[in-house]
Amino acid sequence: MSSKDAKEAQQSPRASGSIDASVIRELAELLTETSLTEIEVEQAGLRIRVARQLNTVYGGIPAAMPAAAPPAPALAPDATAARRETPSAGTITSPMVGTVYVAPEPGAPAFVKPGDSVKEGDTLLIVEAMKTMNPITAPRSGVVKEICVRDGEPVEFGQALVVLG
């Protein structure tokens, strides 16, 4: 064996029987930096392949996801049932997915509270979507019977926000 071959055998991961974890980390970082889904390298007779699974999320945009993601926590039965129920008359629902705010700014009094009288066009709360504050206004005059959401809570399209009487 030549001195060159001996030197390669000493440096080769295969000769030592272990794979250098830093090489795998570097390849994984390269995947992220380049938006590749798979990379394979071969050196000194050792082949390493690093791949990631892509799943499709909103709008068909691919997103890198771990191959075995933990299951999502289930909603409490009462929360699930509340979201499936058909809104009653006078219920104002969210026109979009976002985050609800009951006051114009942190620490300020709420726009409305149960028992308040409102006129058509009065702001009841705000739903923030994509960094845009969207006022949710009263579609008619009435009395606020119930506020169905908490400040800072995420809301879904069609979720009950306020009930007017």
| Complete DSSP assignment for 31-48 | HHHHT-SEEEEEETTEEE
Q: What percent of the chain has pLDDT over 90?
A: 38
How far is residue 148's CA from residue 53's CA, in Å, rounded to a whole number?
A: 39
- pLDDT, tens digit (0-9, with 9 covering 90-100), for 33-47: 776 777 777 777 777
Give exposure, 150-162, as e/b (b: 16+ Cβ within 10 Å).
eeeeebeeebbbb
Q: What is the CATH number of domain 77-164?
A: 2.40.50.100
Q: Taking 80 as the threshold, does the pLDDT of residue 60 lie above it?
A: no
Q: Tokens 């007017």 correspond to what residue? A: 164
- Where are the CATH 2.40.50.100 domain residues in the chain? 77-164
Token pair 């929360």 is found at 79
pTM: predicted TM-score of the whole model, two decimal places: 0.48
pLDDT tens, residue by residue, 66-105: 444 455 555 554 544 444 455 677 899 999 999 999 998 8
* Closest by CA position to 149, among listed 109, 104, 112, 107: 112
* Region 118-146 average pLDDT: 92
